[in-house]
Amino acid sequence: MSCGPLVFLAAFFAFAASWFGLVLAPQFQVGRLQQETNVVNTTELYPSARPGLARQGLEVYRAAGCAACHTEQVGQTGTVCDVVLTDAGTNHAALIETLIRSGLGRSNPGQYLSELPKPVRQGLNKEEADFLATALKSAGAKADVRIVPVGPDIARGWGKRRTVAEDYLYDDPVMLGSLRVGPDLANVGVRLPDPNWHLRHLYAPRLEVKDSPMPPYRYLFTMRRIGWQPSPDALQLPGEFAPPPGFEIVPKPEARALVAYLSSLRTDAVLFEAPMTAPSAPAAATATNTPAK
Ligand code: HEC
C-alpha cells in the first residue's frame, strides 16, 4: 500500500508539534532567565543564590519528602488597588468635601485627618483608584495608589504576591510540590523567621502547633548525655517532649541545613512580572508600575 509516506508525515507532525509546544515554547519563555536588576525601584539583583548551607538544606528537604505535603508556589487571581491618604494637606474643607463626594467619611470625615497614612478605599480597579487619587490631590492632599495582589493563597497569608519563574532560578531541582496537606512554604522564611521555632517544630510539630498532623522528624536530631554543661544548641523542650534527666536533644547538621533552607524561602521582592506595592516602602518609593492586565 502507498500510505507509508502519509503515516510518516502524520507521525512527524505529531512529534514536531509536541516538541514545539513542550520543549521550544517553554525554552523561549523561561529558558534564558537570568539574574537581573528586576526589583522595582531598587538596583538590587534578583534572585540571589541561596547560601551554601541552605543549598544543602534543599537536599535534606528533598530526601525527607517534605514536598509530598508542602508546595512552594503561590497563586494569585489578580490585583486590586488601594488608595492610601498619606498627607491631609492644609485645605481640610476641600478634602472633606472630596471624600464625601466620593461616598466616604459621611459619618465621620474627621477620621481621615489624623493617624495618616490611612487607606481610604480598598479593592478598586486601576481607573477608579487613579481617579480618586487625582481628586484627593487636587484637594491639596497626598494620596498613593497601592497595588495589592489578591487570591485565595494570598488571603491565607502564604505570600504577598504570586510566585514567578524567576523565584526558582537557583534551585535545582525546584520543589514545587503539588499536594497541600500543609501550608505553602514559598514565603515561609518571611512568615516564620525564627530558626529555633523551625527546629522545635521539626522535632515535635505539636510542641508549636496544637494537634499538628505533621510527622516529627526526630532523626534530624540526636539525644546525648549532657557533658560538663548543657550545649547552647540544645532544644528547649517542655514537659512530655523533654529528654530524660541528664540528656539533651541537639540538632544534627542536616537539621541546621534544612532550617537554613526554610529561612531562605522568601518571595517578597517586588518584580515587574508580579507587580505589587511593597508594604513597608516609604511613601516616596511606592511602586509606580501598572498592574498586569
Ligand atoms: C504528612 C504531611 C507532611 C509532611 C511530610 C511534612 N509536613 Fe510540614 N506541615 C504539615 C501540616 C499539616 C502542617 C500544618 C500544621 C503545623 O504547622 O504543624 C505543616 C506545617 C509546616 C510548617 C509551618 C508552616 C506554617 O506556615 O505554619 C513548616 C515550616 C513545615 N511544615 C515544614 C516541613 C518540612 C521541612 C518537612 C520535611 C522535613 C515537612 N514539613 C513535612 C504536613 C506535613
Residue 6 included in any domain:
no
Half-sphere exposure of 126 (CA within 13 A, CB side): 12
CB 263 within 8 A of CB 194: no
In the reported structure, the alpha carbon of residue 35 is separated from the centroid of ligand 1 by a whole-number distance in angstroms of: 30
CATH number at residue 202: 1.10.760.10
Residue among 56, 69, 154 to mutate when testing ligand 1 (max atoms within 8 A of CB): 69
The Cα 71–Cα 68 span in angstroms is 8
Instruction: Report residue 189 as a C-alpha cell.
Output: 522564611
The Cα 272–Cα 53 span in angstroms is 29
In terms of domains, do 89 and 221 share one?
A: no
In terms of domains, do 200 and 58 share one?
A: yes
In terms of domains, do 228 and 185 share one?
A: yes
Residue 173 included in any domain:
yes
In terms of domains, do 168 and 246 share one?
A: yes
> ω before 119 within 30° of 0 (cis)?
no
The Cα 198–Cα 261 span in angstroms is 11
Instruction: Report residue 178 as a C-alpha cell.
Output: 503539588
Which distant-in-sequence residues (6+ apart) come within 8 Å of 213 by Cβ?
181, 205
Minimum CA distance residue for ligand 1 atom 31 = 182
In terms of domains, do 166 and 253 share one?
A: yes
CB 74 within 8 A of CB 167: no
Residue 160 included in any domain:
yes
In terms of domains, do 143 and 244 share one?
A: no
Q: Give mean pLDDT, residues 261-269.
A: 92
In terms of domains, do 61 and 180 share one?
A: yes
In the reported structure, the alpha carbon of residue 214 is separated from the centroid of ligand 1 by a whole-number distance in angstroms of: 5
Residue 37 included in any domain:
no
pTM confidence score = 0.84
CATH number at residue 140: 3.30.1390.10
What are 73-127's pLDDT values in tens digits?
A: 999 999 999 988 888 888 888 888 888 887 776 677 677 777 778 888 888 888 9
Minimum CA distance residue for ligand 1 atom 36 = 66
In terms of domains, do 64 and 125 share one?
A: no
In the reported structure, the alpha carbon of residue 167 is separated from the centroid of ligand 1 by a whole-number distance in angstroms of: 21
**Number of separate domains in the chain:** 2
Query: What is the extent of the structural domain holding 87?
Result: 78-150
Confidence (pLDDT) at 214 = 96
Residue 68 CA: which ligand 1 atom is closest? 5
The Cα 199–Cα 201 span in angstroms is 5
In terms of domains, do 124 and 189 share one?
A: no
In terms of domains, do 60 and 197 share one?
A: yes
Residue 129 included in any domain:
yes
User: Binning pLDDT at 50, 70 and 90, where does residue 1 land?
Assistant: low
Q: Which residues of 65-76 are buried (b: 16+ CB within 10 A; e: fewer)?
A: ebbebbbbbbeb
pLDDT at 40 over 80: no
Which distant-in-sequence residues (6+ apart) come within 8 Å of 279 by Cβ?
160
CB 142 within 8 A of CB 107: no
Which of 137, 145, 147, 146 is closest to 88 using CA atoms? 137
In the reported structure, the alpha carbon of residue 1 is separated from the centroid of ligand 1 by a whole-number distance in angstroms of: 62
